[in-house]
Structure 1
Amino acid sequence: MMLTEQTPVPEAALPLAPFKAHLRLGTGFGEDSLQDEVLISFLRASIAAIEARTGKVLMSRQFDLNMHQWSDPSAQALPLVPVTAIATVVLIDAAGGEEIISPNRYQLIQDSQHPQLCPAGSLLPTVVSGGALRITLTAGMAADWGDLPADLAQAVLMLAAHYYHYRDDTGLSGGCMSFGVTSLIERYRVVRLGLGRLQ
């Protein structure tokens, strides 16, 4: 299984102005935008870290999921949360030929923990020997920054500020995720099932 982000969060969608206000950076000077590039990099790093910790995609964007076979042809678990739409499901034969599967043959089961791609009938379409499949999907909690839950948005700003202040720190102590951030994001963590217990 290989997951590829096809459409990264647009720079215009990142909360650069709120981040500057959070950092209490001065405004009204001729070099207001001097640090924009580094601030944007910290925002992207913060979003990525919180997405990794929670298992939730914050800003809506498109991904490709490539596999050689269904994990379960009766219900394929999707590795992103929340999945909001399935754009295409493509079967790829051993010679590289592609067949777009009709949306009438599958359905997206949306779930805040474990979304699935399920067949409209009994099983998902068969993947031939030596073939593969590609699922193009959209995932994300919000299309715009202002639509994110307030605690998650605050956690992103806090973590990005932490990265900014400790940008020269090569040790673990200063650069780790703070308790304030982890407490804000804890309730969003995806519950994973394994070995008969919650993780």
Structure 2
Amino acid sequence: MMLVEENPVPDAVLPVAQLKEYLRLATGFVDDADQDGLLLRHLRAAMAAIEARTGKILIDRDFTWTLRAWRDPVRQLLPIAPVNAIVHVTQLAHDGAATLTDPATWYLVADATRPALVAKGGVLPPVPPHGSVRIGLMAGFGPDWSDLPADLAQASLMLAAHHYDSRHDMAIAALPPSVTAMVDRFRDLRLGGRA
């Protein structure tokens, strides 16, 4: 199984000004924007860490998920949440030939924790022998920073500030406890090996 982000979050959506305010960076100088690139990188790193820990996509963007077999031929849980739309389900033959499946044969159960692709009245389209299925989906809390739950937005700012403050210390790897406490309620703990 492979999940690929098709388009990054646009720079304009990221709250650089809020991060500057949170860091209490001096303003009013000619070189105010000199730190923007660095702050954007820290915001992106913070978002990636939080998304990886929670399985929740913060800002809307497109993904492609490729898998070689259905876990359940009637209901396939999706690897990320919240999923807003399934754009396509494509069968890929071993020779690379792609066949779009009929959207009338499946639907999205848009659950905030465990969204799923579900067959309508039967089973999901078969995976071709030695082939795969590619699912195009759009996921995220919304297109703007203001769409995020307040605690995830705050945790992202806190983690970006932590990265910024410790940017010269290569030993820092774990999430700070204050960030972990804010994001762990969003984690979906899947027990029993079911995905």
Tell me the TM-score normalised to structure 2 length: 0.94
Contact 1:2–1:66 at 8 Å: present in 2 too? yes
Q: Deviations over 1:17-53 (max 9, x none)?
A: 1011111111121101111111100000000111111
Number of the residue aligned with 1:106: 106
Change (3 A) 1:132 1:176: closer
**Cα RMSD between the aligned structures?**
1.4
Number of the residue aligned with 1:26: 26
Alignment of 1:164-175 (within 5 A): 164-172=164-172, 175=173
- More divergent stretch after superposition (47-56 vs 177-186): 177-186
The one-letter code sitting in structure 2 at the alignment partner of 1:14 is: L
Gaps of 5+ in 2: none
The one-letter code sitting in structure 2 at the alignment partner of 1:182 is: T
Number of the residue aligned with 2:134: 134
The one-letter code sitting in structure 2 at the alignment partner of 1:5 is: E
* SS of structure 1 residue aligned to 2:88: strand
Gaps of 5+ in 1: none
Alignment of 1:1-199 (within 5 A): 1-172=1-172, 175-194=173-192
Tell me the number of residue pairs that the alignment of Structure 1 and Structure 2 aligns. Answer: 194
Contact 1:93–1:130 at 8 Å: present in 2 too? yes
In the TM superposition, residue 70 of structure 1 has moved relative to its aligned partner by 1.8
In the TM superposition, residue 195 of structure 1 has moved relative to its aligned partner by 6.1
In the TM superposition, residue 94 of structure 1 has moved relative to its aligned partner by 2.5
Q: Deviations over 1:152-178 (max 9, x none)?
A: 111100010000000011224xx5322
Identity %: 47
* SS of structure 2 residue aligned to 1:123: coil
Runs of 4+ in structure 1 deviating by more than 3 angstroms, as ranges, are none
Contact 1:113–1:191 at 8 Å: present in 2 too? no
